[in-house]
Amino acid sequence: MSREHGAPRQLKLNLFIYGAGHHQAAWRAPDSAAERLSGTEYYIELARTAERGLLDAVFLADGQSLSPSAAQAGPTWFHEPLTLLSALSQHTSRIGLVCTVSSSFHTPFHAARMLASLDHLSGGRAGVNVVTSMWDAEAQNHSMDGLPDHDTRYGRAEEFIQVMRRLWQSYPGDALEIDRQGRFADPRALQAINHQGEHFSVRGPLNVPSTPQGFPVLFQAGSSVQGRTLAAKYAEAVYAVAADQQMALDYARDLRARIGSAGRGEQGVAIMPGLVTYVGRTQQEARAKQRELNRLLPTADALKQLGVFVQQDTSGWALDEPVPELPGSEEFSGPQGRYATIQRLIKVHEPTVRELLGLLAAGGGHCTMVGTAESIADEMEHWLDSGAADGFNLMPPALPGGIEDFVDMVIPELQRRGRFRTAYQGATLRDHLGLEQPATGRRPLPVP
Over residues 316-325, the pLDDT tens digits come to 999 889 999 9
Q: Of the ranges 226-235, 308-317, 333-342, which one carries the lowest mean pLDDT score? A: 333-342
**What is the residue-wise DSSP string for 166-210?**
HHHTSS-GGGB---TTS-SB-GGG-----EE-SS-EE----SSPP
Closest CA to 240 of 387, 355, 347, 348: 387
Type of residue found at 447: V
Task: Taking residues 404-416, report their average pLDDT.
Answer: 98
The pLDDT tens digits of the residues spanning 94-152 come to 999 999 999 999 999 999 999 999 999 999 999 999 999 888 888 888 898 988 898 99
pLDDT in the model for residue 67? 86
The whole-angstrom separation of Cα 430 and Cα 434 is: 6
Determine contact, residues 280/288, Cβ cutoff 8 Å.
yes
Q: Of the ranges 42-51, 195-204, 205-214, 436-445, which one carries the lowest mean pLDDT score? A: 436-445
Structural domains in the chain, sorted by start? 3-283+367-433 (3.20.20.30)
- Reply yes or no on whether the pLDDT at 311 is more than 80: yes
pLDDT in the model for residue 363? 75
**Average pLDDT, rounded, for the chain:** 91
- Reply yes or no on whether the pLDDT at 357 is more than 90: no
- Reply yes or no on whether the pLDDT at 1 is more than 70: no
- Reply yes or no on whether the pLDDT at 381 is more than 90: yes
The whole-angstrom separation of Cα 153 and Cα 147 is: 8
Type of residue found at 133: S
| C-alpha 356, offset from chain centre | 24
Q: Report the predicted TM-score, pTM, of the whole model to 2 decimal places.
A: 0.89
The pLDDT tens digits of the residues spanning 340-353 come to 878 888 887 788 89
The whole-angstrom separation of Cα 258 and Cα 235 is: 12
- Reply yes or no on whether the pLDDT at 2 is more than 50: no
How far, CA to CA in Å, does 406 sit from each of 284, 293, 326, 426, 432?
17, 17, 36, 23, 19
**What is the residue-wise DSSP string for 74-111?**
-----S-HHHHHHHHHTT-SSSEEEEEEETTTS-HHHH
pLDDT in the model for residue 448? 59
Indicate the SS3 state at residue 70.
helix
Determine contact, residues 138/64, Cβ cutoff 8 Å.
yes
| Residue 143 host element (H or E) | none
Which tops the pLDDT comparison, 156 or 336? Answer: 156
Q: Of the ranges 87-91, 250-254, 364-368, which one carries the lowest mean pLDDT score? A: 364-368
The pLDDT tens digits of the residues spanning 34-87 come to 999 999 999 999 999 999 999 999 999 998 888 888 888 889 877 999 999 999
The pLDDT tens digits of the residues spanning 139-193 come to 888 898 988 898 999 999 999 999 999 999 999 988 999 999 999 999 999 999 9
The whole-angstrom separation of Cα 369 and Cα 382 is: 13
